Amino acid sequence: MRIVLFFFFLLSVLVLTLPSCSKSDSTSISNLEGSSGSITRFAVYENHMYVLNSNEIQTFDLADRENPLLVHAIQTEYGLETIFIYEGKAFLGARTGLYILDLANPAEPVILSEAIRSEVFFGGCDPVVVRDNYAFSTIKIIENICGNWNAESALIIYDVSDSSNPMEVAVRTLSEPNGLGILGDVLLVCDTGTDQLVAFDIGDPTDPVLLPNVTLPIMDPFDLIVDGDRVIVSTKTNFQILDASDLQNITFIKTIAKGE
Amino acid sequence: MQQSLHATLTNPQMQRARPFPSLLVVIVILRFCILIALLSLVGCEKTAPGFSGQGKKPVYLPLSELDDITNQAPQAIINSGPIYLIGDYFFMIEDKRGLHVFDVSDDQQEEALTFIQVPAITDFTIDGNYLYADSWMDIVTIEISDISNIQFISRQLNVIDPILYPALYNGWFECVDLSRGAIVGWEETELVAALCETVN
What CATH number is associated with residue B149? 2.40.10
pLDDT band at B150 (very low <50, low <70, confident <90, very high): very high
Q: Please give the pLDDT value at position B198.
A: 84
Q: Are residues B8 and B51 in the same domain?
A: yes
- Tell me: do B100 and B141 sit in the same domain: yes
Of A33, A78, A253, the CB nearest to B21: A78
Closest to A85 (Cα-Cα) out of A131, A127, A43, A26: A43
State how far the alpha carbon of A201 is from the alpha carbons of A131, A155, A177, A205, B50, in Å.
Answer: 14, 13, 17, 8, 52
Write out pLDDT tens, residues B89-124. Answer: 999 999 999 999 999 988 777 689 999 999 999 999
Sheet holding A221-227, edge to edge: A221-227, A230-235, A239-243, A251-256
- Lowest mean pLDDT, pick from A25-34, A158-167, A170-179, B187-196: A25-34
Q: Is the pTM of this model over 0.90?
A: no
| Domain of residue A56, residue span | 36-173
Residue A48 lies in a domain: yes
In a domain, B161, yes or no: no
CB atoms within 10 A of CB A219: 13
Contacts of B69 in chain A (CB under 8 A): none
Q: What contacts B99, CB < 8 A, 6 or more positions away?
A: B91, B92, B93, B115, B116, B118, B121, B124, B131, B133
B36 and B92 co-located in one domain: no
Residue A143 covered by a domain: yes
Let me know how long chain B is: 200
d(CA A129, CA A197): 16
Residue B26 falls within a domain, yes or no?
yes
Residue B183: domain span: 2-62+166-198
Same domain for B89 and B118? yes
End-to-end CA distance of chain B: 47
Does any domain span residue B38?
yes
Query: Across the interface, do A258 and B146 touch by the CB < 8 Å criterion?
Result: no
Amino acid at residue number B119? P
Statement: residue A122 has pLDDT above 80 = no
Q: Is residue A141 part of a domain?
A: yes
B115·A259 Cβ contact <8 A: yes
Same domain? B145 vs B178: no
Dihedral Cα A100, A106, A107, A111, nearest 10 deg: -10
CATH of residue A144's domain is 2.130.10.10
- How many CB contacts within 8 angstroms connect chain A with chain B? 181
Interface test with B, best of A53, A64, A233 (most B CBs within 10 A): A53
Structural domain total, chain A? 1
B-chain residues near A227 (CB < 8 A): 85, 104
The count of domains in chain B is 2
The complex scores an ipTM of 0.87
Is B49 part of any domain?
Answer: yes
Coil, helix or strand at residue A10: helix
